[in-house]
Amino acid sequence: MYKIKIIAQKYLIGLLKIIGLETYPADSEAEAKKALELATAKKEPALIFISERLAVDLQEEIRLLNKKAEINIVAIPDNRGSIGLEAGRIQNLIKNSIGAEVISRR
């Protein structure tokens, strides 16, 4: 069974710990890197959500960890909204699956 883990700013994850999710607070790139190491240290299947703003500087580490079958790391927006980090990845998934590029207008 997958564990659900969250890496985000301290003020965002307070209530998530109460409902039983493993939380790893981080407010800087260094703290996020350490939290990612702690969250993936156990050899167990895990779904790890990380705030986009923290994940932006950890793309290489996340890419390498996502190659492991038991770990899936997903960047999610925080309370300030998305910075578009996952938009390119989703575009590539759509392009590869249907063979066409989806163009969106703003």
Q: What is the pLDDT of residues 24-61, one digit of tens each?
A: 999 888 999 999 999 998 888 888 889 888 888 888 88
> Cβ neighbours of residue 57 under 8 Å, at least 6 residues apart?
29, 32
Domains of the chain (ranges, CATH numbers): 3-79 (3.40.50.10580)
pLDDT of residue 88: 62
Q: What is the pTM of this model?
A: 0.74
pLDDT class of 77 with cuts at 50, 70, 90: confident
3-state helix, strand, coil in the chain (%, to 5): 45, 25, 35
Among 35-44, 71-80, 93-102, the range of highest mean pLDDT: 35-44
State the amino acid at position 54 in one-letter form: L
Q: Which of 86, 63, 64, 91 is CA-nearest to residue 75?
A: 86
Q: How confident is the prediction for the chain on average, in pLDDT? A: 79
